[in-house]
């Protein structure tokens, strides 16, 4: 998969799912409505940077905490194509893969990117480019890569259930 | 090479003949559980997967607990969806007033046995490791696939061996043991790993205290946390379940990613300061902090053991005038047991609010939200910024003895000074 966008940067370590999407908004079920409280407890102004295709650049242990899928659902609906970071919390990582949104571990790129940087990701080659400068990413395991390529767990499951051939 | 306990469980529930950390396998679920937040999205997603009926209605358990009782129309709608979907699918449903907080309900009602795999739409499904199960917290799309096919994908985690040595002192509980682990390895120290709790200090813990330890495994970033089953596990399960199980442990030659040792003889009660469960200090370092709200409850520390500890402190005393105290038994059965023992009256007489079981204020859902500038001492598992209400509030995590003592003193204090 090749994808890209402009960088939106969250530098802090251990950014938790509560600040990314606070508890009181968990009663929202409509994905479009989930966009509104995204980043509410962290920095609501970040929402204004989500214009067109974007790549979220993050630090260590991003997405720690709750299993709430509202976070990656809202990100995807807001135009975030991929998340590139230093490391990820496990359930957030799973949720992104399941939604077909690549999560790339690439500390070098995460360090080099600044807001608005042009980011290009090649998941097969395992590289991330930041304003033309190339960084090696940690390879995405084959199983997760296949799931991403098929569009996520729903598409993967539709093949299994026979809903599509 | 032998296998760790977690590897043995995953082997028994997958098609793999052998496995090693990093391998990705499909894991079969013995139980799939979801709630009023993760459930409705999962139901919709299951249909998108082209599946109309769950894989096995007898293995699916729905428990409304987060926004319970409904605080507004939107949360009432979620609970309505849950109830109607349960009836339509013929799955097990614990209605409000008959269940409680999901993980506590699964444990007390015999759904969880050693070696079983439980997939839950809540990150604290790791709590079930107290009984030697592999409990895994998943998001709604994962839960949808579990409802549809009874399976989830899993990268085999490595195992960190956590040994509790020695004997814990007065006013030290399971909560302090796991806070000590998080302090030592960090809030991401367990990423891609399972914590396996062993040693004399682990064996000496009651099941209630093991629940608190396993519950906070996720706060170290772990896949889950597991206690090998032993005589205490067997005694706890006696009469609760007719599910077959055998006690497994890690092979003597199993390979652990690393080992961590916590010496209990010198371990004081601990406090996690705002705004991270990894921000851990000895109780003595936090003494004197003003507390506006004490919250005793949640899936880690809403057990009968916790209520007994709190009642021992609060009996015949009054909650400090500047403080409010909220007591939330984790399940309806615990609530009734506490009633029968007279504990609820101890709390009420002391001026506590005694609540019905709910996740409630723990995640900022309701039932005890904090205003800007307020501090809470909570027996819960997360103190992230804004977790219990205002981002300008602070949440201190501690055990039930410490929480009850703070309710009496209106500030953080050594329980010995209050009792």
Q: What is the pLDDT of residue B234?
A: 98
Stretch A60-73: mean pLDDT: 98
Q: Find chain A residues with C-beta within 8 A of B384's C-beta.
A: 16, 18-19, 65
Q: How far is B105 from chain A (nearest CA, A)?
A: 19
CA distance B189 to B258: 11
ipTM of the complex: 0.98
Inter-chain residue contact A94 with B138, CB threshold 8 Å: yes
Strand-by-strand arrangement of the B280-282 sheet = B280-282, B270-272, B394-397, B375-378, B293-297, B324-328, B353-354
Residue B262 exposure: Cα atoms within 13 Å on the Cβ side: 29
CA angle B352, B375, B172 (to 5 degrees): 70
Stretch B143-161: mean pLDDT: 98
Given the candidates 3.30.479.30, 3.40.50.300, 3.40.50.920, 3.20.19.10, the CATH classification of the domain at A2-161 is: 3.20.19.10
CA distances from A159 to A101, B51, B132, B411 (A): 19, 11, 34, 58
Strand-by-strand arrangement of the B224-226 sheet = B224-226, B193-198, B158-165, B258-263
Q: How many CB atoms lie within 10 A of CB B330?
A: 31
Strand runs labelled E in chain A: 2-10, 54-58, 80-85, 103-105, 118-122, 127-130, 133-136
Nearest residue on chain B to A91, alpha-carbon basis: B138
Stretch A58-72: mean pLDDT: 98
CA distance B403 to B399: 6
Stretch A99-111: mean pLDDT: 98
* For residue A48, pLDDT beyond 70: yes
Q: How far is A159 from chain B (nearest CA, A)?
A: 8
* For residue A60, pLDDT beyond 70: yes
> In this structure, are residues B68 and B358 in contact, taking their beta carbons and an 8 Å threshold?
yes
Q: Find chain B residues with C-beta within 8 A of A150's C-beta.
A: none
Sorted by where each starts, the structural domains of chain B and their CATH numbers stand as 1-14+23-154 (3.30.499.10), 157-239+256-267 (3.40.1060.10), 272-418 (3.30.499.10)
* For residue A137, pLDDT beyond 80: yes
- Residues in A whose CB is inside 8 Å of some CB of B read 14, 16, 18-19, 22-24, 26-29, 41, 60-61, 64-69, 72-73, 87, 89-91, 94-95, 98-99, 141-144, 147, 152-154, 157-158, 160-164
Stretch B30-36: mean pLDDT: 98
- What confidence tens digit (pLDDT) does each residue in B249-280 have? 999 999 999 999 999 999 999 999 999 999 99
Nearest residue on chain A to B224, alpha-carbon basis: A90
Stretch A79-105: mean pLDDT: 98
CA distance B204 to B201: 5
Q: Which of B163, B220, B216 is nearest to B189 (CA)?
A: B220
* For residue B1, pLDDT beyond 90: no
How many residues are present in chain A? 165
- What confidence tens digit (pLDDT) does each residue in B370-404 have? 999 999 999 999 999 999 999 999 999 999 999 99
- What confidence tens digit (pLDDT) does each residue in B182-237 have? 999 999 999 999 999 999 999 999 999 999 999 999 999 999 999 999 999 999 99
Inter-chain residue contact A23 with B387, CB threshold 8 Å: yes
Q: What is the pLDDT of residue A82?
A: 98
Inter-chain residue contact A69 with B38, CB threshold 8 Å: yes
- What confidence tens digit (pLDDT) does each residue in B75-130 have? 999 999 999 999 999 999 999 999 999 999 999 999 999 999 999 999 999 999 99
- What confidence tens digit (pLDDT) does each residue in B34-86 have? 999 999 999 999 999 999 999 999 999 999 999 999 999 999 999 999 999 99
Q: How far is A72 from chain B (nearest CA, A)?
A: 10
Stretch A37-59: mean pLDDT: 98
> Residue A165 — pLDDT band, cuts 50, 70, 90?
low
Nearest residue on chain B to A140, alpha-carbon basis: B22
Q: What is the mean pLDDT of chain B?
A: 98
Stretch B287-299: mean pLDDT: 98
Query: Cα torsion for B366, B372, B377, B383, to the nearest 10°?
Result: 80
């Amino acid at each position: 998969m090749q994808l890209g966008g402009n960088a939106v940067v969250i530098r802090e370590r251990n950014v938790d799912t509560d600040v990314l999407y606070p508890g009181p908004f968990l009663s929202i079920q409509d994905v479009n409505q989930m966009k509104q409280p995204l980043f509410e407890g962290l920095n609501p102004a970040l929402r204004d940077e989500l214009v067109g295709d974007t790549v979220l650049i993050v630090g260590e242990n991003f997405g720690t905490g709750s299993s709430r899928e509202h976070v990656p659902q809202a990100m995807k609906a807001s135009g975030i194509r991929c998340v590139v970071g230093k490391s990820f919390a496990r359930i957030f990582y799973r949720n992104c893969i399941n939604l077909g949104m690549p999560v790339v571990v690439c500390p070098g790129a995460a360090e080099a990117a600044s807001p608005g940087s042009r980011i290009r990701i090649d998941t097969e080659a395992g590289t991330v480019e930041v304003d033309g400068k190339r960084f090696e990413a940690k390879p995405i395991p084959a199983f997760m890569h296949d799931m991403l390529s098929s569009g996520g767990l729903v598409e993967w499951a539709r093949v299994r259930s026979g809903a599509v051939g | 090479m032998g296998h760790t306990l977690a590897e043995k469980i995953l082997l028994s529930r997958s098609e793999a003949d052998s496995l090693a950390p990093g391998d990705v396998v499909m894991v079969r679920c013995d139980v799939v559980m979801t709630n009023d937040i993760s459930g409705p999205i999962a139901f919709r997603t299951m249909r998108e997967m082209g599946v109309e009926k769950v894989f096995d209605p007898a293995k699916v358990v729905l428990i409304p607990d987060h926004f319970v009782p409904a605080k507004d129309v939107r949360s009432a709608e979620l609970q309505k969806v849950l109830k109607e979907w349960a009836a339509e699918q013929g799955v097990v449903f614990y209605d409000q007033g008959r269940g409680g907080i999901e993980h506590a309900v699964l444990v007390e009602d015999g759904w969880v046995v050693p070696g079983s795999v439980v997939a839950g739409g809540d990150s604290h499904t790791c709590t079930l490791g107290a009984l030697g199960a592999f409990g895994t917290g998943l998001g709604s799309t994962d839960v949808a696939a579990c409802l549809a096919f009874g399976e989830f994908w899993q990268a085999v985690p490595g195992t960190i061996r956590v040994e509790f040595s020695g004997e814990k002192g007065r006013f030290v509980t399971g909560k302090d043991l796991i806070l000590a682990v998080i302090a030592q390895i960090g809030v991401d120290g367990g990423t891609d790993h399972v914590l396996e709790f062993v040693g004399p200090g682990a064996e000496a813990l009651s099941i209630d205290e093991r629940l608190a330890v396993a519950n906070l495994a996720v706060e170290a970033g772990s896949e889950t946390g597991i206690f090998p089953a032993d005589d205490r596990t067997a005694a706890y399960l006696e009469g609760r379940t007719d599910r077959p199980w055998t006690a497994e442990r890690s092979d003597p030659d199993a390979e652990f990613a690393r080992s961590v040792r916590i010496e209990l003889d010198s371990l004081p009660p601990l406090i996690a300061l705002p705004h991270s469960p990894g921000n851990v200090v000895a109780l003595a370092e936090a003494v004197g902090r003003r507390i506006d709200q004490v919250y005793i409850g949640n899936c880690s520390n809403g057990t009968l053991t916790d209520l007994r500890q709190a009642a021992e402190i609060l009996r015949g005393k009054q909650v400090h005038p500047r403080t409010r105290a909220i007591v939330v038994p984790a399940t309806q059965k615990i609530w009734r047991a506490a009633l029968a023992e007279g504990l609820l009256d101890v709390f009420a007489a002391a001026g506590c609010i005694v609540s019905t079981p709910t996740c409630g204020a723990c995640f900022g859902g309701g039932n005890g939200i904090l205003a800007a500038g307020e501090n809470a001492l909570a027996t819960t598992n997360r103190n992230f910024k804004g977790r219990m209400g205002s981002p300008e509030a602070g949440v201190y995590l501690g055990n039930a003895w410490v929480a009850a003592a703070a309710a009496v003193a209106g500030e953080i204090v050594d329980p010995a000074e209050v009792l």
